[in-house]
Every structure is written in structure tokens, then in C-alpha cells.
Amino acid sequence: MAKLVFIRHGQSEWNLKNLFTGWADVNLSEQGVEEAKAAGKKLKEAGIEFDQAYTSVLTRAIKTLHFALEESGQLWVPETKSWRLNERHYGALQGKNKAEAAEQYGDEQVHIWRRSYDVLPPLMSADDEGSAANDRRYANLDPRIVPGGENLKVTLERAIPFWEDHIAPDLLAGKNVIVAAHGNSLRALTKYIENLSDEEIMDVEMATGQPVVYDLDDKLNIVSKTKL
């Protein structure tokens, strides 16, 4: 039996301002730091000991992982970062205020952009200043892979190879794993491991800084799921 913990990053500066964030690399807010530390305390109280950590290449998730591991006395745990665990790319919506977008385009359209499984947001062009194509951390990626905007389906399709190549083999080897990532990359993994339909995943939300603990059997069937 292995334990798998998903944790969405603590509140970010752009969560606080209600801005679409996606691949924009923003920091944790003060509240976000406290949420991440509180998560570490809860993990410690629950006695959960990790063998491996995974996170994205975005500051808010990396720092959440580090605060949580430090508070639980496990900052030494080996960690791997991958762009495949990044938040969904929110395309041209990145940096826009969610409430203002709802006023401009209507609540329904904004809900579709945020929660539909397969509708893409308006895309960001590769010559946009904020494009991932201009960011050194993605320099080794095939330019055809660097997204200009992703829906949950595309996010799932790029996250699952990482699950299959790294996370699942660790769990099958009996390792306890923490994945510190993002609302939508974690919703994608949740859909996959819980076998949820395209409709069911629309209602799944990840709270900032809240560890979700799965107990898995030796075939990775879910035995229990607990939110700390």
C-alpha cells in the first residue's frame, strides 16, 4: 500500500487579485505561505512520510512543496520538477481579471473557459511577451509542444505521460509520493486516477494548500481518499 498526496499550491499573488494565471510564474501571497506551512503541519500530524516529491517548474508550486516538506521535517526528500505538472496554460486570458472577463464575455462563457473539458481559451501568440516560447525554462522543449493555451483535455494528455513514467512506477514500488502542483493539472490527474467522466470533473475543485491523501493498493486502486 502506498500513499499519494496531491497538494495545490497555496494562494498566489494572482489568486488574491483574481487574475487568470496559468503558466505566468507568480509568487505565493503571504496567506499562501501560511497555507503551505499549515499543510506541512497537517502532514506531520498525520504521520505521512514521503519517499519522493514531484512538482512543476512554477515558483508557487515549488515553494509550496518546500514549505510543506520543511514544516513536516522532510525537506531532504528527493524531488523532480517537470513542466508536465504546470498549471494549464490559460492562453490570452493570462493576466486578465476573472470577474472583469465575466462582465465582458458573460458568466457562462467564462465558466466554459474555466471548467469545460475540451474548450480551448483564446490563444496567446508565440511572439507575445509572456509566451513560454521566450522563457528559458522551456528552451529544451520542442517548440511545437510549447502551448499558446490549453484546455483540461490537453493538460491531461501532457500530464499523463509523467504519471505513467514517474509517479505510477514509484507508487507501484511502494513509495509514498507528494505531488505539489496546480488546480487544473491536479484536476487532470484526479480525473485520470478516479476515472471521472468529462462532466464529473467539471464539479471537482482543488482548494489552495489542502493536502488530498490517497491510499492505494498494489494495483493502484484507490482504497481511501481523505482531505486534510
Provide the annotated active-site residues.
Answer: 9, 87
112 vs 133 by CB, closer to ligand 3PG: 112
Least distance between ligand 3PG and beta carbon 195 (Å): 21
Least distance between ligand 3PG and beta carbon 216 (Å): 26
Instruction: Extract the runs of DSSP E, i.e. beta strands, from the chain.
Output: 2-8, 52-55, 79-81, 177-181, 211-216, 222-227
Binding flag, residue 83, ligand 3PG (CB under 6 A) = no
Binding flag, residue 22, ligand 3PG (CB under 6 A) = yes
Binding flag, residue 117, ligand 3PG (CB under 6 A) = no
Q: Do strands 222-227 and 211-216 pair parallel, antiparallel, or not at all (unpaired)? A: antiparallel
How far apart, in whole angstroms, are the C-alpha atoms of residue 27 and residue 78?
23
13 vs 51 by CB, closer to ligand 3PG: 13
The site that binds ligand 3PG (CB under 6 A) totals a number of residues, namely: 9
Count of positions (residues) in the chain: 228
In terms of Cβ atoms closer than 10 Å to its own Cβ (0-12, 13-18, 19+), residue 192 is: middle
- Binding residue per annotation — 194? no
Q: Which residues of 78-112 are buried (b: 16+ CB within 10 A; e: fewer)?
A: ebebbbbbbbbbbbbbbbbebeebbeeeeeeebee
Least distance between ligand 3PG and beta carbon 193 (Å): 19
Binding flag, residue 21, ligand 3PG (CB under 6 A) = yes
Binding flag, residue 114, ligand 3PG (CB under 6 A) = yes
Name the residue number minimizing CB distance to ligand 3PG: 21
How far from the centroid of its chain's Cα atoms is residue 94's Cα?
16
How far apart, in whole angstroms, are the C-alpha atoms of residue 179 and residue 219?
19
23 vs 162 by CB, closer to ligand 3PG: 23
72 vs 87 by CB, closer to ligand 3PG: 87
* Other Cβ atoms closer than 10 A to 227: 11
Residues 180-219 contacting ligand 3PG, CB under 6 A: 182-184
Residue 16 and residue 29 in contact, taking contact as beta carbons nearer than 8 Å: yes
Nearest to 19 by CA among 126, 146, 110, 144: 110
Q: Which residues are annotated as a binding site?
A: 8-15, 21-22, 60, 87-90, 98, 114-115, 183-184
Judged by the rule CB under 6 A, the positions of this chain that interact with ligand 3PG are 20-22, 87, 90, 114, 182-184
Q: Which residues are annotated as a binding site for substrate?
A: 8-15, 21-22, 60, 87-90, 98, 114-115, 183-184
